[in-house]
Amino acid sequence: MQHIDLLMIGCGPSNLSVGVALEECTEAHNIRSSLIIEKDASVCWHRGMLFPEAQSQVSFLKDLVTQRDPTSRFSFLNYLHKSKRLDSFINLQTFNPYRKEISDYLQWVADNLEKTQVVYNSKVTEVLPELTPEGEITGWQVFVEDGECYRANRLIFGAGRDLNVPAVFENVSQDNVIHSANFLTALEHMSSQRINNIAVIGGAQSSAEMYQSCIENFPTANITMIMRSIGLVNYEGSQFTNTLFQNDYINTYFNCDNTTREKTLTAMHTTNYSGVAPSTLSELYRFHYLQDMRGENRVAMLTQCDLLHAVDDDGGVLITWQDNKTGHTHSARFDVVLLGTGYKNKTPTLFENLSNQLDIEQICVDRNYRAVLPYAPGVSLHLQGVNENTHGIADSLLSVLAFRSKEIIDDITD
């Protein structure tokens, strides 16, 4: 069993930002060894939706470090400089890089960390606390799929939220129901000759991008987009509402009562969820306009619909839904169902056993993202990207990473 002072689960933006903060911290004397465990063979940002032409909705200034230290060698601008592409990027005249550029930037950061080692192809299967008879946590045992086991004093989770799969699809074959997180990987194995009917579930950006991709990649298939909303809508992104994504708003939100937090999240929903980028909306509307002009109906959007039932059906999926505009119920069989249904905003499944072992109903975090648990000195667990209810709607986004990573490192080394 390998002993590590600081072990991080997931080599995504959250933990890479912590790695950078540790790299640049001069007072982390209690962290002699640091390790990031990554389930895949490389770092990749939104692997399942990494379309070559897709741009980020977030400014490049909200990288892993710039808001904390604009002079850092780990900035996105320095990545472009080292890649000899800074002039070309400047000439794009945009704050929004392509997703592929951000993904490549993250791999570049991982490759250039010196204090933190990254171990790939290591999927964590279980996390167990080491407990005294009094129930105090003295360390963590982290088990990996290949049989490796690590022991850590400090543990940070940054592997993203669990997939949100609607209840109606929970018992349907995973071969035929594909979440957006796995879309491009699955697309490589989908035959355009075998697939004649496709359903896309949801009305946000990921659903719209899968819908658009299917239109292009399956030119003879019938494609149906089914959503609860009245139709695709723009992200709400005024300069005023965007102040709620700034770092100084986290304190304001954290100190609110639960009722105010819930109202704020509801009001902010279309700034990050249930919205679509204007360019995507325009392209899809033009496609539908031209389809109508040609008198075709191969591709359709069904709005204000509730899913009622789904079952496996002869190698496909039979879906039943209600059209709330008419009250009528409809059923149709699809060869494949694509879910743009997002992620669960809750403590990751990986830590459900921890709640049971410690006999607590829910794992809560403090302002510095430390899980509120009975620790021995020098032991801790920090959770990143799953604290929207306490830290605000920006918690799962790039917007807060630079400062959050410093807060966590300061909390660990204090």
Could you tell me if residue 118 is inside a domain? yes
Distance CA 61, CA 388 (A): 22
Task: Give the contacts of 50 (CB within 8 A, at least 6 positions apart).
Answer: 44, 99, 100, 103, 184
How many CB atoms sit inside 10 A of residue 194's CB?
Answer: 10
Judge if 209 and 349 occupy the same domain.
Answer: no
- Most confident by average pLDDT, 82-86, 275-279, 346-350: 82-86
Last residue of a domain, one of 339, 370, 385: 339
Judgement on whether residues 185 and 305 belong to the same structural domain of the protein: yes
**Same domain (yes/no): 287, 399:** no
State what percent of residues in the chain have pLDDT above 90. Answer: 83
Is pLDDT at 191 greater than 80 in this prediction?
Answer: no
Residue 306 lies in a domain: yes
Task: Name which of 409, 397, 414 is nearest 116 in CA terms.
Answer: 409
Q: What is the pLDDT of residue 252?
A: 95
Instruction: Report the domain count for the chain.
Output: 2
The answer to whether position 29 is within a domain reads yes
pLDDT band at 194; cut points 50, 70, 90? confident
The answer to the question of residue 254 being in a domain is no
The pLDDT, as a whole number, for residue 151 is 97
227/299 same-domain check: yes
At residue 26, the pLDDT reads: 85
* pLDDT reported for residue 30: 86
Which DSSP helix (H) or strand (E) runs through 329? strand 329-334
- C-alpha–C-alpha distance, residues 65 and 70, integer Å: 7
* CA 266/CA 269 separation, integer angstroms: 5
Same domain, 207 and 348: no
Q: Is residue 207 assigned to a domain?
A: yes
Task: Tell me what the mean pLDDT of segment 353-375 comes to.
Answer: 90
On whether residue 261 sits in a domain, the answer given is no
Residues 141, 26, single domain; the answer is yes
Nearest to 235 by CA among 127, 96, 336: 96
Q: How many other C-beta atoms can be found within 10 angstroms of the C-beta atom of residue 357?
A: 13
pLDDT (0 to 100) of residue 322: 98
Tokens of 241: 């509402």
Whether residues 209 and 62 fall in one domain: no
Task: Using the predicted structure, report yes or no on whether residue 28 has a pLDDT greater than 80.
Answer: no
Range of the domain at 95: 2-162+344-413
Last residue of a domain, one of 288, 316, 339: 339
Write down the pLDDT at residue 361: 80
Helix, strand, coil tally for the chain in percent (to 5): 35, 25, 40
Q: Tell me the pTM.
A: 0.94
Same domain, 209 and 82: no
With respect to residue 146, please indicate whether it lies within any of the assigned structural domains.
yes
Domain of 295, CATH number, reads 3.50.50.60
pLDDT of residue 185: 92
Same domain, yes or no: 189 and 89: no
List the alpha helices (DSSP H) in 361-400: 388-391
pLDDT in tens, 389-409: 999 999 999 999 999 999 999
23 occurs within a structural domain: yes
Q: Do 123 and 189 belong to one domain?
A: no
Domain end, chosen from 294, 309, 339, is at: 339
Claim to verify: residue 226 and residue 100 sit in the same structural domain: no
Burial group, residue 170, by CB count within 10 angstroms (0-12, 13-18, 19+): exposed
Same domain? For 121 and 28 the reply is yes
**346 vs 297, higher pLDDT:** 297
